[in-house]
Every structure is written in C-alpha cells, then in structure tokens.
Amino acid sequence: MNLEELYNTYSLDLLSSRALLIDKMNSLESAQISCINCSGVCCTQSKNSMQLTLVEALTLYMNLKFKNILNDELILKSAATIKDARIDQKIYVKNRELRRNYTCPLFMFKALGCPLDKDHKPYGCLGFNATTSGVKEGENCQSDLGLLKEVDETYNTKIAQINAILANALSTENFKMTIPEAIVFFNDFESKNC
Ligand code: SF4
Ligand code: SF4
C-alpha cells in the first residue's frame, strides 16, 4: 500500500478520536480563552518536545500533502530542526529516551500559528491549551491530562493495533517520532517507494 492508501485505511478511522479534545478547545474559544494573543511559545524550543505515534505522524503528514503545504522548504526546515535540536543524537536515561525540545517546523509555516486541521493534529497539541483569556507567553497553559487519559483509555488498544500494522507496512521499528522526524521519514518513504 502507498501512504494515501494507508491513510485512507487507518488514519481516517481514527479522526473522530480527537472529538473530545476538539470540543474542549472549541468550548474554551467560546469563552474567549484562546491562543490569539500568544506568541505560540508551546510550539517552540522553549516548551515543545512533542512526539507522535506512527498513525499520528502519518495523519499529520497526509494533512500537509492534502493542503499543499508539503514542499522542499519544509523538508529542509525539518531536517535542519533534527540536526539543530540534536534529535538524531539519541540519549537514554534509565532505559528511557531523553526527549529533545525543538521548535516545530510547522509553527508559523504558511499560516499564522499551526497550519494543520484540528482533526489531523497530534493529540498532545490539541490537549494543551490556555486556561485563562489574554495569555501572551504561555503563562497560564497546561495539558488537560484527564481528557488525554480518557482519549487514551478509549482508543489505545485500537491505536496500538494500527501502529503495529503501520510499522510492518513501513518497515520501521520507530513507533514514536518528533514532528520533523515524521515529515522527513514519510518523505523519504515516498521517495524510495514511488
Ligand atoms: S503541530 Fe502545530 S500545534 Fe503542534 S507543535 Fe507543531 S505548530 Fe504547534
Ligand atoms: S496553548 Fe498556551 S502557549 Fe500555546 S499558543 Fe495557546 S496560549 Fe500560547
């Protein structure tokens, strides 16, 4: 299967799993609690260390393709982010990989803020929101751990099954990757398999 077929078969099935998080975000926005006045610090190296599972990574990548945002500039920017943030230099502490902070290559890319559609965003990005209005530098923001746990408990079995299928189809043992790694990984996959 090519990436579009994998997306149609597996990612589409999970788009609705973001509904709870999107509803929460929409209700915050209705209460004037939004990111509108903020510099977007949660997407930058000072705060962001987002990692995605394979199906989240595929969903993100295909959204970029469908929106015509994926181009050489973004691929190069992603590769530079991997190098600059030393994401490719894996360090393990007590058998756990040390997460690297990095500025998301999608941040302010061809759009104010994030160019992804909400139903294609990583769960962690959707679950991190302001808790008061007028936030300027992320001063009152946090992850809604309760809601993320609820989504995880509802969908984790299905997500794990899909990730196993994708790992096999994509010939990778990398079940988790950062956003720039996802962009480079799927672009490489397409280059080799076209
Ligand atoms: S995907 Fe969007 S919301 Fe998530 S870190 Fe990147 S720019 Fe920010
Ligand atoms: S979630 Fe918080 S830190 Fe991130 S852009 Fe919105 S207001 Fe700023």
pLDDT tens-digit map of 53-102: 999 999 999 999 999 999 999 999 999 999 999 999 988 988 888 899 99
* Average pLDDT value for residue range 160-176: 93
List, in order, residues 6 or more apart from 36 with CB less than 8 Å away.
none
d(CA 176, CA 25) in angstroms, rounded, equals 25
d(CA 148, CA 166) in angstroms, rounded, equals 23
Kindly report the pTM of this predicted structure. 0.94
For the CA of 47, the nearest ligand: 2
Domain that holds residue 126: 3-192
Q: Is 125 in the pocket of ligand 1 (CB under 6 A)?
A: yes
Domain count, the chain: 1
Q: Is 141 in the pocket of ligand 2 (CB under 6 A)?
A: yes
Q: Is 129 in the pocket of ligand 1 (CB under 6 A)?
A: no
